Structure formats: structure tokens, C-alpha cells
């Protein structure tokens, strides 16, 4: 029952694999597929990292300056991120020199905000409702968080541009799918690699780990199961995102989603069912090298599928 790893056990497992013949060929992607996979995965990591930094910054401002969120239409927009490194605490904003603050805001907002805005902000900062202890550390944390946030914007755009430049010339029929853009297509193709590796759409489903896990003991079999989640989380996430557009804009998948919801399924479960079924369309598009046709084969969607 314990998870152990020793040289003796490693040797035994290797010998068993060779004896039974369960060894599988390691697939090494070519340069193009590897580029699609690496670029698309990094384009996922950047927003995740940025979101984590934003949540940390938001928690700090909620603690020391709750009124901050009412000053902005976009809490982490260009203007807000320009002001925070210089005036990260209520005291710093209340003591700001009006001329310098006005110039900073006008430049960051491209002239949309100016002196009238500056006159309101220090008054709000003079009567903050937040805690007053630990402001120096909070201010330093805000400055350190704001700098990398700004640094991630340009690399993210560069990644998207580079991915599009690699995927669009391939003229893949996957781009004809609903809501399918270059970055999402690259994420899917980067993890699939050669589609001929999969003899059927069901094989592709298992590779994405959208197959249900099985829990059975004696006469008991669990009826509420989760997906196995054994494969690449990037591949699974890409297929999940690819299901959003068919659920909204494809009549067949929209009806399938609504039927699942009518059965009492949670929205995430219903969307997972759409993703699971959409992988059949994905396999057909890539194996036949034909554009997506919403009018074709959508009637075969089974409400018993999940």
C-alpha cells in the first residue's frame, strides 16, 4: 500500500514490462509540433502567474485601502498600475503633490483623466477604512508586484504573435472550428502531434484523460465519477476551452449541453460532456483533413454520453 521506489523495484517493474510486452514507443515530436506545444504552454503559464500576482495585490489593497477599488473602472488597468508603484499606500496617495500626480495620471490614461480626478483621490485616501499597521511592508509588496505585472504584457503578446505566425501557414482545418484561434489550435495540435497515432476518437478521448474513472468493489459500482485526469493538464485544458464556443454557437452541441443541464448536471459537468464529445469532431477533422461542418454528424450526439 505504501508508495516506495527502490532500485530493486525499478528493476522488477522493467523486467515485468518487457516480459508481458507492455512497453510502448516513445513519441518524439518534430520541431514544428514541439514549437506549438512549448509556445502554447508558456502562453498558459503567463496568465496564470499574472492572475496570482493580481490576487495577492488585491488582498493587500483590501486590507490597507479598501476604497481603492472604487477609484477605478479597471482595477489593474494601465493607469492603476502606473499609480500604484509610486503611491502604494493611502498615506502616500494623500501626501501626493498634485502636479506630479496629475502629470502621471494624464500620461498613463492618455489624457482621459486629469486634475479633477486628482482632487478626489487624496480626499478619499485621507480617511481610509483599512488597517494602519504594516504599511511599509505592504507598500514594498505592492511595488514588487506591480513591476513584474507590467513586464508580462509584452512577452504575452509576443508569444501570441509568434504562435499565430507558426500555425496559420499550416492551413490546418482545425482553425475552421467554432471559436478556434491560433493559440488554442497550437495548444491542441502541440499535444496531439501526429493524429494517426489515434485509431479512433475514443483513443483521443483517453489521451486527453476525459474518460471517466471507474470505482467498483464487489456488487458496488460508483455512479458519480470524475474524469481520470491522467494525461497532460495542458491538453485537457485546451480541449475544455475548445468546448466553450460549440456550446454557445453550435446548434447540436448547444442542445446537447442544455439536455445535460436538464438532467441535473452541474454546468462544469455539462461542459465536460461537450468537451468529451467534441473530441470526436476534432479527430474527424484532423484525420480526414476537412473543415468543420456543424451540419454534419451532430445528430449523432448521444445524451447518454458523458
User: Is 41 part of any domain?
Assistant: no
Q: How big is the CA angle at 270 (ends 265 and 276), to the nearest 5 degrees?
A: 135
Could you tell me the pLDDT band of residue 1, with boundaries at 50, 70 and 90?
A: very low
Please check whether residue 204 is in contact with residue 281, taking contact to mean a CB–CB distance below 8 angstroms: no
User: Is 206 part of any domain?
Assistant: yes
Q: How many domains does the chain have?
A: 2
Reported pTM? 0.66
Closest CA to 232 of 210, 260, 254: 210
Task: Tell which phi-psi region holds residue 222, choosing left (phi > 0), alpha (psi between -120 and 50) or beta.
Answer: beta
Same domain, 225 and 129: no
Same domain, 193 and 276: yes
Same domain, 88 and 196: no
Task: Please say which residue of 153, 181, 213 terminates a domain.
Answer: 153
Higher pLDDT, 75 or 1: 75
Higher pLDDT, 52 or 132: 52
User: Is 248 part of any domain?
Assistant: yes
Measured CA to CA in angstroms, residue 262 lies from 176, 265, 290 at distances of 30, 7, 33
User: Is 260 part of any domain?
Assistant: yes
Same domain, 181 and 240: yes
Domain of residue 269 covers 171-300
Same domain, 109 and 225: no
User: Is 266 part of any domain?
Assistant: yes
User: Is 148 part of any domain?
Assistant: yes
- Checking if the pLDDT of 192 tops 60, the result is yes
Task: Please say which residue of 153, 188, 216 terminates a domain.
Answer: 153
Give the DSSP letter of residue 213. P
Same domain, 209 and 288: yes
Could you tell me the pLDDT band of residue 206, with boundaries at 50, 70 and 90?
A: low
Task: Please say which residue of 92, 123, 153 terminates a domain.
Answer: 153
Same domain, 186 and 76: no
Taking the C-alpha atoms of residue 205 and residue 305, their distance in angstroms, rounded to an integer, is 12
Across 65-78, average pLDDT: 80
Same domain, 287 and 180: yes
Closest CA to 98 of 115, 110, 86: 115
Q: Give the total residue count for the chain.
A: 306
Higher pLDDT, 91 or 221: 91
Q: Quote the pLDDT of residue 306.
A: 47
User: Is 42 part of any domain?
Assistant: no
Same domain, 265 and 197: yes
Higher pLDDT, 271 or 204: 271
Same domain, 142 and 211: no
Higher pLDDT, 2 or 41: 41
Across 27-48, average pLDDT: 84
* 76-116 tens-digit pLDDT: 888 888 888 888 888 888 888 888 888 888 888 888 877 77
Same domain, 197 and 268: yes
Same domain, 91 and 175: no
User: Is 26 part of any domain?
Assistant: no
Amino acid at each position: 500500500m505504501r508508495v516506495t521506489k527502490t532500485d530493486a523495484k525499478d528493476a522488477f517493474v522493467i523486467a515485468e514490462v518487457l516480459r508481458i510486452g507492455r512497453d510502448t514507443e516513445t513519441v518524439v515530436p518534430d520541431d514544428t509540433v514541439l514549437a506549438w506545444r512549448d509556445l502554447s504552454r508558456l502562453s498558459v503559464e503567463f496568465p496564470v502567474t499574472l492572475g496570482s500576482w493580481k490576487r495577492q495585490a488585491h488582498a493587500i489593497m483590501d486590507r490597507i485601502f479598501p476604497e481603492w477599488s472604487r477609484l477605478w473602472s479597471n482595477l489593474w488597468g494601465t493607469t492603476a498600475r502606473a499609480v500604484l508603484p509610486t503611491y502604494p499606500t493611502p498615506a502616500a496617495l494623500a501626501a501626493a503633490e498634485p502636479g506630479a500626480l496629475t502629470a502621471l495620471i494624464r500620461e498613463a490614461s492618455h489624457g482621459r483623466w486629469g486634475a479633477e480626478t486628482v482632487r478626489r483621490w487624496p480626499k478619499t485616501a485621507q480617511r481610509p477604512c483599512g488597517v494602519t499597521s504594516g504599511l511599509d511592508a505592504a507598500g514594498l509588496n505592492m511595488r514588487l508586484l506591480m513591476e513584474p505585472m507590467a513586464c508580462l504584457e509584452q512577452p504575452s503578446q509576443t508569444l501570441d504573435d509568434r504562435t499565430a505566425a507558426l500555425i496559420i501557414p499550416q492551413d490546418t482545418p482545425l482553425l475552421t472550428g467554432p471559436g478556434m484561434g491560433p493559440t488554442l489550435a497550437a495548444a491542441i495540435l502541440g499535444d496531439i502531434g501526429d493524429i494517426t497515432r489515434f485509431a479512433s476518437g475514443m483513443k483521443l478521448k483517453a489521451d486527453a484523460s476525459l474518460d471517466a474513472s471507474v470505482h467498483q468493489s464487489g456488487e458496488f459500482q460508483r455512479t458519480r465519477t470524475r474524469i481520470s485526469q491522467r494525461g497532460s493538464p495542458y491538453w485537457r485544458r485546451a480541449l475544455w476551452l475548445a468546448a466553450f464556443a460549440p456550446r454557445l454557437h453550435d446548434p447540436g452541441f448547444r442542445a446537447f449541453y442544455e439536455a445535460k443541464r436538464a438532467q441535473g448536471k452541474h454546468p462544469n459537468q455539462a461542459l465536460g460532456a461537450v468537451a468529451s464529445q467534441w473530441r470526436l469532431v476534432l479527430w474527424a477533422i484532423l484525420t480526414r483533413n476537412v473543415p468543420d461542418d456543424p451540419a454534419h454528424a451532430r445528430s449523432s450526439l448521444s445524451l447518454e454520453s458523458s
